[in-house]
């Protein structure tokens, strides 16, 4: 099951997640065809509430962020342990 929360309040069920997402798209298209609009809202500092593009890949954060490096090292160690 896939859903879109308020203010859209849509949900769809499919045999697979991809199918449910497709059904959700059909429902959203129907709302837009009836005149419903989706937009971003500027806030006091002039930035949009929802960025136009996701913030990934984070510019060099993978090289400079200690938490990310530790996570990567833990993943590599776990993979080494699984292969033994």
According to the per-residue pLDDT averaged within each range, which of 3-12, 54-63, 75-84 is highest? 75-84
Q: Are residues 63 and 33 in the same domain?
A: no
Domain assignment present for 3: yes
- 49, 41 in Cβ contact below 8 A? yes
Would you say residue 75 has pLDDT above 80? yes
- Tell me the C-alpha distance between 32 and 24, whole Å: 12
Tell me the mean pLDDT in the region 22-26: 90
Amino acid 81: pLDDT:
86
Amino acid 49: pLDDT:
57
Domain assignment present for 45: no
pLDDT band at 41 (very low <50, low <70, confident <90, very high): low
The DSSP H or E segment spanning 10 is: strand 10-12
Q: Are residues 6 and 32 in the same domain?
A: yes
Domain assignment present for 47: no
- Taken in order 66, 67, 71, 74, the sign of the CA dihedral is positive
- The answer, as to whether pTM is greater than 0.75, is no
Name which of 18-22, 31-35, 39-43, 45-49 the model is least confident about. 45-49
Domain assignment present for 48: no
């Amino acid at each position: 099951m896939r859903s879109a929360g308020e203010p859209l309040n849509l949900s769809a069920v499919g045999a697979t997640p991809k199918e449910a997402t497709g059904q959700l798209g059909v429902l959203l298209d129907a709302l837009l065809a009836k005149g419903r609009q989706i937009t971003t809202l500027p806030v006091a500092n002039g930035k949009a509430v929802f960025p136009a593009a996701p913030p990934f890949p984070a510019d060099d954060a993978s090289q400079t962020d200690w938490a990310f490096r530790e996570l990567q090292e833990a993943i590599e160690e776990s993979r080494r342990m699984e292969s033994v």
